[in-house]
Amino acid sequence: PDTPTMAELGLPAMTTDVFFGLVAPPGTPAPVVNKLADAMKTVLAQAPLREALSATGNEPQSSTPAEFRALVDKEAARFQALIKAKGIQPQ
């Protein structure tokens, strides 16, 4: 689509980081969430995966479920403010 860049929208200092994470349905028991988080931490610590991800320009890192939730909430708030400030409407 014909989507302007952040600089074209008048936000030259706007940066974005791409992040990936696992999510679970609301109400998932904490022990299940923690088990998934521990498994991801173990997988992300493996050298072959880290090397493969790094080769594609990614910087693999793990976090706790609370840290990931805080990151998602922070990014959502940041983009909500941007959308509101710029009067961006869904197309």
Distance CA 80, CA 11 (A): 15
Residue at 56 is within a domain? yes
54 domain-assigned = yes
Count of beta carbons in the 10 Å neighbourhood of residue 86: 11
Number of domains the chain is built from: 1
Asked if residue 24 is part of any domain, the answer here is no
Give the tokens for residue 21.
Answer: 């994470």
Considering the domain boundaries, does residue 36 fall inside one? yes
Give per-residue pLDDT as tens, 37-61. 999 999 999 999 999 999 999 999 9
Give the helix ranges, DSSP H, for the chain: 30-44, 47-55, 65-86
Residue 20 within a domain: no
Task: State the pTM of this model.
Answer: 0.73
Flag whether 48 is in a domain.
Answer: yes
Could you give the percent of the chain with pLDDT greater than 70? 100
Q: Which domain holds residue 80?
A: 30-84
- Please report whether residue 5 resides in a domain: no
- CA distances (Å), 72 to each of 12, 55, 84, in order? 22, 25, 18
